[in-house]
Amino acid sequence: MIQFFRSAVPGLVTLLFCLVFFPLHLVAAEEGEYIAIRKEGSGNIALVLDKLDAKGRKETSYAQSLDAIMNGGLDFTRLFSLISPPLNVKDSSDRKNIVINFPALTSVGAEVYVGGAVTMKSDEIILEMKVYEAAGSKLLMNKIYRGNEATLRTMGHAFCADLVELLTGKKSVFGSKIVFISNKTGFKEIYECEFDGYGPKQLTNSRSISMNPVLSPDGKHLAYIDFTSGRPTLYIKSLIGGRIASVGKSSVSIDPGWRSNSEVGATLSFDGNQEIYLVNIDGTLSRRVTNSKSIDISPTFSPDGSKMAFVSSRNGLPQLFIQDLASGEVKRLTFSGRYNTQPSWSPAGDKIVYTTWEKGGEINIFTIGSDGSGLVQLTRNCGENKSPSWSPDGEMIVFTSNRQGKEKLYVMSSKGGNERVLLQGDGEQTQPSWSLFR
């Protein structure tokens, strides 16, 4: 049940109509350059992703790979209800002109129909994708993606990204990366994988202890802690040039968080106390941010960089605080829970996710508004759940859990639910951090 509107007033009227009579159905409205299908109630977008057309052995093989890649990608987002295409979806009796059977699609509840074809031109793979609104038989998008055998995943996900943006008006997780720690070699090293856990790759080989990797917003630098020097030291590595800067001051460095593409917040204790500083990407100090006699750690910044949430034991047990960087004003954010740590500020700026170590020994993940309102518990009754980090679109949270024994990476909806394993590998995987949009 999708309606497309050209102007706001009849749109509003029809929207009200739909809300009254079809409160659980989707309502779409054209907004600017994209077509936004808004979810009313809890329904996902009902989508038929048809098998790609292909002629020839190679084409058919690539088409099958792309089918699986796009299906897996769209399923991962949990934005869609993927419906199997009805048998009579395409009428190819006229060989020149394949006709899509839209009534058959609407009869199975499909709101959007996606079809496409794979052809080849010498070694180039050409993927042509078409997106239709089922009820109105209207072509919403027709786009060609080019690549080769090695870039099938990128091609398929490029379409998935376009589809999500077309239907929701928002950027998606496709193309984003997750960095994390794994001890599978016997040492804690840094790894990265794609947004869905695909293709884990080892980034460091320091045979020491690495901790808390986090990518800069532009993805060009990786900040992390490593014990190679004998003490926990902050390193900032250029992922393009490979240059590695470290903080020269002799001290303990703890848990970096990016404020911008050129500044990292981190705790350094060279003056005898654990204080948060802003560090430039060349390893020089920009300025000191906190000044308390207690532990101050784990800086995470509002998207505009004006505010910093962090953990402090200034009132005794660790709690979250927010400091305005310009005025220096500090406000306590959390008042429930005795041990609140690991804050991460949402990409939209409205929420902070963190963990609470509960009395019974569980560690659970919560979100709270950056104004202190709307506390929501996301995990419960499943052991220790730690190190939450937002997906770049704010729809998901990656975290670690020991619910099945060893610590593994999981993802869930940022509103809670849909918890599932992201990555199955040897050893334990910890401290995941999701990249922002490039």
Partner 1 sequence: MKKNSVVFLALMVIAGCSSKSTVTPDEAPISQPSLRSSSSIPPSSPSGYGFDQWQTGPLGDVFYDYDSATLSIDAQDQLKQNGGWMDGNASKSALIEGHCDQRGTSEYNLALGDRRAASAKEYLVRLGVSSSRLETVSFGEERPFAQGQSEEAWAKNRRAHFVVK
Report which of 402, 401, 387 is spatially closest to residue 353, judged by C-alpha positions: 387
| Three-state secondary structure readout of the chain | CCCCCCCHHHHHHHHHHHHHHCCCCCEEEEECCEEEEECCCCCCEEEEECCCEECCHHHHHHHHHHHHHHHHHHHHHCCEEEECCCCCCEECCCCCCCEECHHHHHHCCCCEEEEEEEEEECCEEEEEEEEEECCCCEEEEEEEEEECHHHHHHHHHHHHHHHHHHHHCCCCCCCCEEEEEECCCCCEEEEEEECCCCCCEECCCCCCEEEEEEECCCCCEEEEEECCCCCCEEEEEECCCCCEEECCCCCCEEEEEECCCCEEEEEECCCCCCEEEEEECCCCEEEECCCCCCCEEEEEECCCCCEEEEEECCCCCCEEEEEECCCCCEEECCCCCCCEEEEEECCCCCEEEEEEECCCCCEEEEEEECCCCCCEECCCCCCEEEEEEECCCCCEEEEEECCCCCCEEEEEECCCCCCEEEECCCCCEEEEEECCCC
- Min. distance of Cβ 140 from partner 1 in angstroms? 46
Piece of the chain touching partner 1 by CB under 8 A; list 30-38, 71-79, 227-235, 368-376: 227-235
Residue 429 binds partner 1 (CB under 8 A): no
- Min. distance of Cβ 344 from partner 1 in angstroms? 12
Piece of the chain touching partner 1 by CB under 8 A; list 198-206, 337-345, 367-375, 391-399: 337-345
Q: Which of 177/188 has CB closer to partner 1?
A: 188
Q: Quick one: which of 125, 167, 311, 365 contacts partner 1 (CB under 8 A)?
A: 311
Residue 295 binds partner 1 (CB under 8 A): yes
- Min. distance of Cβ 317 from partner 1 in angstroms? 7
Q: Quick one: which of 6, 20, 186, 230 contacts partner 1 (CB under 8 A)?
A: 230
Question: How many other C-beta atoms can be found within 10 angstroms of the C-beta atom of residue 121?
Answer: 8
- Min. distance of Cβ 385 from partner 1 in angstroms? 11
Q: Which of 36/252 has CB closer to partner 1?
A: 252
Q: Quick one: which of 431, 434, 435, 436 contacts partner 1 (CB under 8 A)?
A: 431
Q: Quick one: which of 138, 146, 243, 293 contacts partner 1 (CB under 8 A)?
A: 293
Q: Which of 149/271 has CB closer to partner 1?
A: 271
Q: Which of 34/339 has CB closer to partner 1?
A: 339
Piece of the chain touching partner 1 by CB under 8 A; list 102-110, 148-156, 198-206, 252-260: 252-260
Q: Quick one: which of 313, 377, 402, 413 contacts partner 1 (CB under 8 A)?
A: 313
Q: Which of 193/225 has CB closer to partner 1?
A: 225
Piece of the chain touching partner 1 by CB under 8 A; list 48-56, 74-82, 104-112, 310-318: 310-318
Q: Quick one: which of 50, 386, 391, 393 contacts partner 1 (CB under 8 A)?
A: 386
- Min. distance of Cβ 145 from partner 1 in angstroms? 42
- Min. distance of Cβ 366 from partner 1 in angstroms? 14
Q: Which of 140/397 has CB closer to partner 1?
A: 397
Q: Which of 118/365 has CB closer to partner 1?
A: 365
For residues 8 and 200, give the distance between their C-alpha atoms in angstroms, rounded to a whole number: 47
Piece of the chain touching partner 1 by CB under 8 A; list 56-64, 198-206, 225-233, 364-372: 225-233
Residue 363 binds partner 1 (CB under 8 A): yes
Q: Are 392 and 171 in contact (CB under 8 A)?
A: yes
Q: Are 23 and 15 in contact (CB under 8 A)?
A: no
Residue 355 binds partner 1 (CB under 8 A): yes
For residues 307 and 383, give the distance between their C-alpha atoms in angstroms, rounded to a whole number: 32
Cβ-in-10-Å burial (0-12, 13-18, 19+) of 159 comes to: buried
Q: Which of 176/323 has CB closer to partner 1?
A: 323
Report which of 300, 281, 420 is spatially closest to residue 370, judged by C-alpha positions: 300
Residue 172 binds partner 1 (CB under 8 A): no
Q: Quick one: which of 153, 188, 237, 307 contacts partner 1 (CB under 8 A)?
A: 188
Instruction: Name the site residues for partner 1 (rule: CB under 8 A).
Output: 188, 209, 211-212, 225, 227, 230-232, 252, 254-255, 267, 269, 272-274, 293, 295, 297-298, 311, 313, 316-318, 339, 341-342, 355, 357, 361, 363, 386-387, 430-431
